Chain A
Amino acid sequence: MNLNATLLGETIAFIVFVWFTMKFVWPPLNGAIEERQNKIADGLAAGERAEKDLELAQEKASEQLKEAKAQAADIIEQAKKRAMQIVDEETQKGHDERESIISQGHAEVVAERNRAKEDLRQQVSVLAIAGAEKILERQIDAAAHSDILDKLVAEL
């Protein structure tokens, strides 16, 4: 149990082992560990960044969706208005046409009636003359009495 030369031998062994560890064992192992730690840290940071990006993209997408929905609603609204307008316009046009057709018809009817009246008048004057001829049993000069006949016709 005395201290002896073993102490020296062990001290030398100790120094050699420490030197070897310092030279060949510690640096590569610690280097590998630290490099891996950096890699993991980078990976985690990248993951976090990607998550943020995703969140941003989702937000953007939902915003765009909202915008698109609003636009669609606008377009539908406009289309409805336009349709209503078209219906109104067409109704108006139809109405006008009907009016014009009716008024045209009216005018035609009136013209027809006038013509018929005129015809009737002509025929009445002829009939009147014929009647008067019968009544007078003689030929009345139509030309000589035309003023009277005209007055008669006008009175009809």
Chain B
Amino acid sequence: MAGELTTQGYIKHHLTNASVGEGFWTWHVDTLAWSILLGLVFIISFYAVARKATVGVPGKFQCFVEMIVEFVGNSVKDTFHGKNPLIAPLALTIFVWVLLMNTMDIIPVDWLPSLAALIGGESWETISSGQSHIYMKVVPTTDLNMTAALALGVFILMIFYSIKIKGVGGFLKELYAHPFNTPWLYWFNFILEVIALIAKPMSLALRLFGNLYAGELIFILIAGLMGVWQLPAHFIWAAFHLLVIPLQAFIFMMLTIVYLSLAHEDH
């Protein structure tokens, strides 16, 4: 039966992923679906432009896409001085994909979950009382799995290029012979450097997750607590959040470039 709508229940409902499976083998279906959908939006629209890209006068959409490409390309050129055909496409994918996923935050918090519940066959009373059993988190970057996956990908590339450029010995040497270059302190260096190395992907994942999760949470709190006053409050928070959305996408991209640039540096 439909119980009372509590604020706590409302918030909890909004923070629960739609999932299948048990234990580790749980799949967050909503995160996967939305992120892959948005990723497809990115690559299909960019591919459509790339396929017909003209050197002559570009159309408006080509101009827009080229602006983003050039922006990312310049960011890469400014920071990354090696020659690696992977870095710029990687940065572009991260930037646009994360930007699109973050932008899902702007869509009012109840729209898509309610729509999903309606399609799922829940009655309107059930949905409005917060008792729906269909969950839907539409912002993939508020799922730690999503941001951790991005960070993991970057981390794997960091290790890969460190070893490729410096060799296994060079990579290990960087871990134990720095910052104190005496054998007495190698153990200390090693602890320090491994923590620093692990901290890089951790900070990447947690920064993006934390910012977007907090932003989403505030939207949910406004929607859950403020009654009629949520309308101006939503507007103000959304306007502020418009800064956070591209900023976090940009920071993730820049740090990826910086970390990979560091991985390419041979001391």
A-to-B contact residues, CB < 8 Å: 1-11, 13-15, 17-18, 20-22, 24-33, 35-36, 39
* Contact A17:B42 (CB < 8 A) given known A3-B145, A7-B149, A25-B47: yes
Contact-size category for B: 35 or more
Q: How far is the CA of A17 from the CA of B45 in the complex (A)?
A: 13
A-B Cβ contacts below 8 A, count? 125
B152 and A7 contacting across the interface, CB-CB below 8 Å: yes
A10 and B32 contacting across the interface, CB-CB below 8 Å: yes
List 7 A-B pairs, Cβ < 8 Å: A5-B24, A10-B32, A10-B149, A17-B97, A30-B69, A30-B88, A33-B73
Q: In B121-166, which residues have CB < 8 Å from any A CB?
A: 140, 143-146, 148-150, 152-153
User: B66 near A: Cβ within 8 Å?
Assistant: yes
Give the interface SS of chain B, mostly helix, strand, loop or mixed: helix
A25 and B43 contacting across the interface, CB-CB below 8 Å: yes
A29 and B66 contacting across the interface, CB-CB below 8 Å: yes
A20 and B43 contacting across the interface, CB-CB below 8 Å: yes
A4 and B28 contacting across the interface, CB-CB below 8 Å: yes
B39 and A13 contacting across the interface, CB-CB below 8 Å: yes
Q: A11-B149, A13-B36 are in contact. List 12 more A-B contacts (CB 8 A).
A: A1-B144, A5-B27, A6-B28, A6-B146, A10-B140, A10-B148, A17-B43, A17-B97, A20-B47, A24-B50, A30-B88, A32-B66
Q: Within the complex, what minimum Cβ distance (angstroms) separates B248 from chain A? A: 17
B55 and A14 contacting across the interface, CB-CB below 8 Å: no
User: B51 near A: Cβ within 8 Å?
Assistant: yes
Q: How far is the CA of A26 from the CA of B46 in the complex (A)?
A: 9
User: Chain A contacts of B93 at CB under 8 A?
Assistant: 14, 17-18, 21
A10 and B145 contacting across the interface, CB-CB below 8 Å: yes
Q: Within the complex, what minimum Cβ distance (angstroms) separates A11 from chain B? A: 4
A22 and B150 contacting across the interface, CB-CB below 8 Å: no
Closest chain B residue, CB of each to CB of A36: B55
Q: In B210-249, which residues have CB < 8 Å from any A CB?
A: none
User: Chain A contacts of B36 at CB under 8 A?
Assistant: 13
Q: How far is the CA of A108 from the CA of B116 in the complex (A)?
A: 146
User: Chain A contacts of B146 at CB under 8 A?
Assistant: 6, 10
User: Chain A contacts of B55 at CB under 8 A?
Assistant: 32, 35-36, 39
Q: Within the complex, what minimum Cβ distance (angstroms) separates A133 from chain B? A: 139
B149 and A21 contacting across the interface, CB-CB below 8 Å: no
Q: How far is the CA of A12 from the CA of B30 in the complex (A)?
A: 16
Closest chain A residue, CB of each to CB of B150: A14
Closest chain B residue, CB of each to CB of A31: B53
Select B149's contact among A14, A20, A22, beta carbons within 8 Å: A14
User: B3 near A: Cβ within 8 Å?
Assistant: no
* Contact A7:B27 (CB < 8 A) given known A15-B153, A18-B93: no
A21 and B46 contacting across the interface, CB-CB below 8 Å: yes
User: Chain A contacts of B69 at CB under 8 A?
Assistant: 26, 29-30, 33
User: Chain A contacts of B265 at CB under 8 A?
Assistant: none
User: B92 near A: Cβ within 8 Å?
Assistant: yes
Q: Within the complex, what minimum Cβ distance (angstroms) separates B202 from chain A? A: 12
